[in-house]
Amino acid sequence: MYGLAASAPGTFDAPDAKIYRPGHVPAARLGCAFTELEQDMAREELKWQNIDADDLPAAVKKSFDAMVEAETTFKADLEKLLKAEGHMPEDKFLVMSRKGKRLGVAFASTPRGEGGAGSLKFKTK
C-alpha cells in the first residue's frame, strides 16, 4: 500500500526517509515548487456557487462594480483589436477565459450567458 522513499536511490535507512503512496513522487524530486498539500488541493473537486452582487456589502459591491466595468471595457477593446487585425470574424462573439496572466479567447456564434451553479446569499445592512 505505501512505500518507503529515501534521499538516495537504493538506500532506505536515510534519516530523512518518508513514506509515500505508490507511484507518488515528491514535488521536490520532480523539480517542482509545489508542496504535497498544493498538489492535493489541485486535485480537489471545486463546488462553484454564484453570488448575486446585489447581496454583497456596499464596500465589496463597489469593488465588484469597478471590476465588471473594467472587464467590459477590456473585452470591447480586445474585440475591436482582434477584428481590426483580422483575427476575429465580424459575425462572431468573443468568449474569454483567464488563468493567472494567461488569457484564452474563442469565438462563438451566440453570446454566452451566466453559468448554472448554485447561489450564495449575504446579509446586508
- Given a contact cutoff of 8 angstroms between Cβ atoms, the answer to whether 56 and 122 are in contact is yes
- Kindly report which listed range (11-20, 23-32, 55-64, 90-99) carries the lowest average pLDDT score: 11-20
**In the predicted model, is pLDDT for residue 1 greater than 90?**
no
One-letter-per-residue 3-state SS of the chain: CCEEECCCCCCCCCCCCEEECCCCCCHHHHCCCCCHHHHHHHHCCCCCEEECHHHCCHHHHHHHHHHHHHHHHHHHHHHHHHHHCCCCCCCCEEEEEEECCEEEEEEECCCCCCCCCEEECCCCC
For 96-113, what is the mean pLDDT? 84
**In the predicted model, is pLDDT for residue 97 greater than 60?**
yes
pLDDT digits (tens, 9 = 90+) for 43-53: 777 778 888 88
